[in-house]
Structure 1
């Protein structure tokens, strides 16, 4: 880890878009982890769909090929820009130094979806921040095998239709998201516009349940309207999305808040297994 009092001489250099697929290849064996293959691929695809999308891939001192150390900074629409990071090295010093470079900026950042192995590097950055109004959220990382997902049934109850969410649904999704903040509706719009999703609509066309896919590759923003709870719609959303993701050759993944026992029980009942601890610093 960086030594206190030592002159800090490091800088972040942008990784050109022409090298993003090479970075992706370095993480090709980590498709079930949160901030490896999935998040890199997510922003490669978003940039293809929306060339003006504000995202930067960065390396420490211009070196990333040897150990895969990277930082991604994305403007997802929220007040704070979102940071994702990883390294293939067991030594976290270069990653910690890369994160420390962010403290020299006037920007405020939120750190999304980093696994427990990377927490010591993140803690170096967090200690330099004003934490008076910040939240560090601890979640369990779940995965369901393709064999488990293949057995999922996805038939909706009578009178309910399942289809992709539309941009206009972002307001409804955001208004009951527990972690909404100023600007978070724009993030929800990004997820709807660029990633797969599912909404359950009643016979009047009203949205009553939904699930989206986060840049980390995991299911996210899973919600059921209070008026339609205890009908199994949450489980249906998870099963439906898991099927869609595996058909695209992806992994069925989910991040569940540690204290959310009902959600944890639902995922485990469906056959998801906990594989990691993942943190979110808002």
Structure 2
């Protein structure tokens, strides 16, 4: 029997309730588990959560394997020494280290322990990308989407995304890969998204900007068509998504590369503040993993 055992839906609910006490110190984990509870009802094969001997208590230690965007690992623990997490990583056979993998948004407190463990296991690390977690705790004044509507005029309006928009979004996503349209479609189907449309009396209204809530419960795939940039549409979409997430009991969060000052400025305007540092770790060969260093750090593997 493996040291990592899969958690049931009931176990995940208990883990979710455990992290409710840590929304101030680990809001990204609250979001993730909040999202997972919805995903496992309809797409249980896309996300699996494991714990050492099936016991996440008393420190919330878990390792998740995500397959909605190829093969990614998401993990956390409240144990400062990370002993249980390290033991699980060293002894499990559940994780397929021999295929291209990305460890997703690893909190900086865990980073030295995990990297040391990977090196001891002689697992090939092809990159470590420094990143940051950003959180929005703004009030309704900052998230005033009505004022954005008045500024842009009646030609532009907010609307929900649906699966038919996946092709348009994927077509201009700089980090698309073979099969990524299905990934985008799945995210929209499960988590929805916010679009900004331009009215067009001659033909169907045009989708010109958008933002999604990704599989770990953060803002993702923020994009504006080139001809509509510099109009503040991204900020409007972000504010609208933040209001939607708050209404669904999420904490609006995203990840932004430390070097990406432009994205940081966009999110600061929408009420975001730096919460913590994190990193993305690529395992495998650089030639087979493409890394999006934009705010959302969508990680895609070109050969999946």
Shift of 1:104: 6.0
Q: Which residue of 2 aligns with 1:259?
A: 259
Shift of 1:279: 1.9
Q: Which residue of 2 aligns with 1:14?
A: 6
Q: Which residue of 2 aligns with 1:184?
A: 180
Q: Which residue of 1 aligns with 2:35?
A: 42
Is the 1:35–1:84 contact (alpha carbons within 8 Å) kept by the matching residues of 2? Answer: no
Cα distance per residue 1:77-102 (max 9 Å; x no partner): x3x32211111111112212323335
**Considering only aligned residues, what root-mean-square deviation do their CA atoms show, in Å?**
2.4
Aligned residue for 2:212, secondary structure, equals strand
**Structure 2 CA distance for aligned equivalents of residues 164 and 108 of structure 1:** 34
Matches within 5 A, 1:26-175: 26-31=18-23, 33=26, 35-48=28-41, 50-76=42-68, 78=69, 80-100=70-90, 101=92, 106-124=98-116, 126-127=118-119, 128-131=122-125, 134-147=126-139, 149-155=140-146, 156=149, 157-158=152-153, 159-175=155-171
**Structure 1 CA distance for aligned equivalents of residues 23 and 175 of structure 2:** 26
Q: Where does the alignment leave 5 or more consecutive residues of structure 2 unmatched?
A: 283-304
Is the 2:134–2:276 contact (alpha carbons within 8 Å) kept by the matching residues of 1? Answer: yes
C-alpha spacing 1:188/1:182, structure 2 compared with 1 (3 Å): same
C-alpha spacing 1:85/1:52, structure 2 compared with 1 (3 Å): closer
C-alpha spacing 1:162/1:104, structure 2 compared with 1 (3 Å): closer
Aligned residue for 2:85, secondary structure, equals helix
Matches within 5 A, 1:267-282: 267-282=267-282
**Structure 2 CA distance for aligned equivalents of residues 146 and 270 of structure 1:** 8
Cα distance per residue 1:186-240 (max 9 Å; x no partner): 3222221111310112223222111111233321111111110000001111111
Q: Which residue of 1 aligns with 2:293?
A: none
Shift of 1:107: 4.3
**Structure 2 CA distance for aligned equivalents of residues 252 and 167 of structure 1:** 23
Aligned residue for 1:24, secondary structure, equals helix
Aligned residue for 2:143, secondary structure, equals coil
Matched length? 268
TM-score by length of 1: 0.85
**Structure 2 CA distance for aligned equivalents of residues 45 and 281 of structure 1:** 27
Is the 1:72–1:83 contact (alpha carbons within 8 Å) kept by the matching residues of 2? Answer: yes
Aligned residue for 2:277, secondary structure, equals strand
In the alignment, structure 1 residue 197 sits paired with structure 2 residue 189:
no
